[in-house]
């Protein structure tokens, strides 16, 4: 973590030894994002100006929080599992990452889908980058809720990084978002693919 804090850019490569050690040290390898996805998140966070949003917290929250602190930005994380939120929050506290707004609430039933109960009234008017690695696939509608719930906060140019593009439901959700957000999409990440989308102007 010290090496990451000294030079986050050095961990923006999936082959970075420090990034591999962070994944190992976090100790949740079967649920954690892959090195490819985390490296992509780091790269984009370093290139982005403005608040960032994350759906589903974990190691990525710590890393993006550290980058947000260095850049004087705020990082928002949505989490539905209280015990998981407590673990992430303890780590944020340990590293003094109080620029992270951890929003821990049970998932909300929006009718055709469930998604995070985002505190829209206190959130920024727009996000520059969205890291989407939750909620879990067993949620009704999966990760779909991002587009309808956060629609007005996703302005043209906002980048969405959707993990787990090796799974058919995630690819179908990306197709729906591409239509609803007039977004472009491309698949990155080789063996552990993820999808990068860029929101376009809506009529
Ligand atoms: C894929 S994980 C998010 C991982 C995060 N992006 C990271 O880099 O660590 C998505 C959600 O799964 C849940 N989760 C994480 N680890 C878990 C575990 N070991 N068992 C069950 N649920 C877990 C949390 O609620 C989390 O928000």
pLDDT digits (tens, 9 = 90+) for 18-40: 999 999 999 998 888 899 999 99
Tell me the three state secondary structure of residue 197.
strand
Cα 26 from chain centre: 17
Q: Identify which of 39, 52, 56, 118 to mutate to test ligand 1's pocket (most ligand atoms within 8 A of the CB).
A: 56
Q: Is 82 in the pocket of ligand 1 (CB under 6 A)?
A: no
pLDDT of 43 > 90? The answer is yes
CA 193 vs CA 77, 124, 137, 166: distances in Å? 22, 29, 16, 6
Tell me how far apart the alpha carbons of residues 83 and 188 are, in angstroms, rounded to a whole number.
32
Of 80, 144, 134, 79, residue with least CA distance to 111: 144
The pTM of this model reads 0.97
Average pLDDT value for residue range 133-150 = 98
pLDDT of 143 > 90? The answer is yes
Q: Identify which of 19, 36, 55, 57 to mutate to test ligand 1's pocket (most ligand atoms within 8 A of the CB).
A: 57
- Which CATH code of 3.40.50.150, 3.40.50.2300, 2.40.128.720, 3.40.50.720 fits the domain covering 2-198? 3.40.50.150
How many A from CA of 29 to the centre of ligand 1?
Answer: 10
Tell me how far apart the alpha carbons of residues 60 and 77 are, in angstroms, rounded to a whole number.
10
Tell me how far apart the alpha carbons of residues 85 and 33 are, in angstroms, rounded to a whole number.
16
Percent of the residues in the chain that have a pLDDT greater than 90, as a whole number: 96
How many A from CA of 186 to the centre of ligand 1?
Answer: 24
State residue 122's pLDDT score: 98
How many A from CA of 79 to the centre of ligand 1?
Answer: 9
pLDDT digits (tens, 9 = 90+) for 95-136: 999 999 999 999 999 999 999 999 999 999 999 999 999 999
Atom of ligand 1 nearest to the CA of 164: 1
Atom of ligand 1 nearest to the CA of 131: 6
């Amino acid at each position: 973590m010290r090496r990451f804090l000294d030079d986050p850019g050095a961990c923006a490569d999936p082959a970075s030894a420090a990034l591999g050690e962070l994944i190992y040290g976090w100790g949740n390898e079967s649920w954690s994002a892959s090195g490819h996805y985390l490296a992509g998140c780091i790269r984009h966070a370093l290139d982005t100006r403005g608040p960032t949003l994350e759906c589903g917290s974990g190691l990525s929250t710590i890393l993006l929080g550290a980058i947000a602190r260095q850049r004087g930005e705020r990082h928002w994380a949505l989490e539905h599992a209280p015990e998981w939120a407590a673990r992430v929050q303890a780590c944020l506290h340990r590293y003094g990452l109080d620029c992270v707004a951890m929003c821990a609430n049970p998932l909300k039933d929006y009718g055709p889908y469930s998604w995070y109960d985002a505190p829209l009234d206190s959130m920024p008017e727009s996000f520059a980058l969205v890291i989407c690695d939750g909620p879990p696939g067993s949620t009704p509608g999966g990760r779909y809720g991002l587009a309808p719930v956060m629609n007005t906060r996703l302005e043209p140019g906002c980048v969405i990084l959707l993990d787990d593009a090796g799974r058919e439901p995630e690819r179908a959700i990306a197709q729906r978002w591409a239509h609803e957000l007039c977004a472009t999409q491309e698949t990155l990440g080789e063996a552990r693919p993820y999808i990068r989308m860029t929101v376009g102007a809506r009529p």
